[in-house]
């Protein structure tokens, strides 16, 4: 089966954490390339939150399966819990950006 370079896409994300101990953090980054999973695919991610209240948190995980967007392309659910720092952690949950907005390659057979 021939694959397209466009099969190797990534997604951007910008996600706020939950409000814990009187503050929130923000996380932003870009996922890794797609990993086939059944009829769909997922992406790994790893990031560090903003530095707020004298500390930051780490977060990493695997997105959910692809979710088609009405205007074309797809997104993924990004949920989890940050590392424990300053005796607490934060939850987060949001969606990645559409892969068509962060496409790295032209569509051509490889």
Boundaries of every domain in the chain: 5-102
Query: What is the model's pTM?
Result: 0.84
CA distance 36 to 13: 20
Question: What is the structure's pLDDT at 102?
Answer: 52
Question: What is the structure's pLDDT at 104?
Answer: 53
Question: What is the structure's pLDDT at 110?
Answer: 42
Instruction: Write down the residue that tokens 């980054």 correspond to.
Output: 29
Residue spans of the chain under pLDDT 70: 1-7, 100-110
How many alpha carbons lie under 13 Å from residue 72 in its C-beta half-sphere? Answer: 3
| DSSP classification of residue 71 | T
CA distance 11 to 29: 8
């Amino acid at each position: 089966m021939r694959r397209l370079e466009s099969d190797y896409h990534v997604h951007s994300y910008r996600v706020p954490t939950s409000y814990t101990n009187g503050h929130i953090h923000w996380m932003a980054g870009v996922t890794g390339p797609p990993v086939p999973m059944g009829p769909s695919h997922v992406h790994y991610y790893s990031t560090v939150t903003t530095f707020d209240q004298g500390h930051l948190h780490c977060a990493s995980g695997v997105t959910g399966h692809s979710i088609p967007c009405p205007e074309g392309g797809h997104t993924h659910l990004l949920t989890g819990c940050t590392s424990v720092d300053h005796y607490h952690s934060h939850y987060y949950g949001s969606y990645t950006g559409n892969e068509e907005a962060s496409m790295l390659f032209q569509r051509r057979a490889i």
